[in-house]
Each structure stands twice: as structure tokens, then as C-alpha cells.
A and B are shown apart, each in its own frame.
Chain A
Amino acid sequence: MAEKKKLSLIAFSGEFDKLTAVFTLATGAAAVGYEVNIFFTFWGLDAIKQKRGHAFLGGNWLTKFFGFVLGGLHTAPTSRFNFCGLGPHIFRSLMRKKNVATLEELVEAATALGVNLYACEMAMHVLGLKQSDFIHEVKDTLGVATFLEISEGGQTLFI
């Protein structure tokens, strides 16, 4: 049997549209039989926080402030046409009207399809986040070396 095809995504951006691209690629690839790994780093970590709104997550007052401002999946801004936070609501409404899966539905599908979610150890350290701050589907906390090992032999994209 041929070796399973593999797609690894580095989710750096915490923006609604870029996260939608991450999870669209991830679910599409997983559904057609790829092994899919997503490595969340920096702003991308917002996508896997258990608290999906604004919450004071972090180690000290500064990281707690960052955590609150950044928020989670529900508060991710769009990279264009954000209109002071109105953009994501407009896009969610458009997507529902057009029967296109919303970001939340894509995340749910990704976990149901067994997409491997990993958090970047260094970015977590900087932002004062712990693995317990993330959804329980996050498999592990990794560094670059382990991510390279996991992604070896497949395609890797940075979003």
C-alpha cells in the first residue's frame, strides 16, 4: 500500500479569513485521506483556545492583557474589511446564506476527521499560555525540531 499522503500547516495568523483557509485545507485534505498536522504558533494559537471570546489568559498582567485583546476563535478579526470587528459577523452571515461552512463548523469537522493539532511551545511561553488553555483535541506542545520530524515527507504550508 502506498504511503499516506501528508499535509502540514503552520497556522501563524489569527485572522478569521486566514484561519478559514487553514481549516478548509485541513478538512478537505483529511477528508480525501491525507494525514493532516496543524502547528499553531503566535496569533494562530487564538484558534485553539478553549475560551473563544475575550478572556484574561496569560501568566502576568501584560500577557493577560494581550490574551484579553487577542481573544479566541469567535473574536478573530478579518485581515481586510474588518470594520472595527463587524467584518467577521458579515462574513459569517454571508457564509451561512451561501451554505459555506463557517470557521466554527470547519474546526469541528477537523477534529472529527482526526486532524492533528499541535501548539508551539515557544509562542505559548511568550504569551503565557498553558496546554490546559487549549481545546482538549490539541495533541501536544511542540518545538520546531519535532514539527519538522512530523511534517517530513509531506507538503508544508505557512498561513
Chain B
Amino acid sequence: MATHTLDITKDHCPMTFVRTKLKLSQIAEGDILEVLLTEGEPLANVPRTAIEQGYKVLSVTHVEGAVHKVTIQK
């Protein structure tokens, strides 16, 4: 079970979801994806969308400033 990271703090809609979705499609079943994202739309929607699509959101933690880390398991 590998852990992957994805930084979408500099991305904007729709690439925030797009890059997360593409990364999730590339990793193996059971792998972990740590997504660094900012407050606002990405923080509100990336975890919600991941759950809706059947992935497991293990945690959402504050990193610093406006940056948060969402840990998703495929």
C-alpha cells in the first residue's frame, strides 16, 4: 500500500477536481492519496466528491495558513 501526494494549492476550478480524479484513477486499490489544497471550493468539494465516488476520506487536517491536507484511500 503506497502513499502518494498531490499539491493542488495553485490550481483553480476545474483542475482541482480534475487532477485529483486523474491521480486517483492512476493509483492502485488501497493506496493512499494525500491532497494539499486551499480553503474555499477545493476544501468544500474535493472530500465530498471523493466520498460520492466511493473513495474513503481518512482525514482532513489543517497544514498552515489556508492550506489543508485531505487524505483519501482508494
Contacts and interface: CB of A to CB of B under 8 A. Distances in A.
Contacts of A106: 14
Interface stretch (A6-14, A73-81, A82-90, A97-105): A97-105
Contacts of A98: 12
Interface residues of B, number: 15
Given A32-B52, A33-B49, A113 B12 contact: no
A28 B18 contact: yes
Interface in B12-47: 12-15, 17-18, 20-22, 45
DSSP majority for the A interface? helix
Contacts of A25: 14
Interface of A: 24-25, 27-28, 30-33, 98-101, 105-106, 109, 112-113
Given A32-B53, A109-B18, A113-B22, 8 more contacts: A31-B14, A31-B17, A31-B49, A32-B45, A99-B12, A100-B15, A109-B14, A109-B15
11 contacts: A24-B13, A24-B14, A28-B14, A30-B21, A31-B14, A32-B52, A32-B53, A101-B15, A105-B15, A109-B22, A112-B22
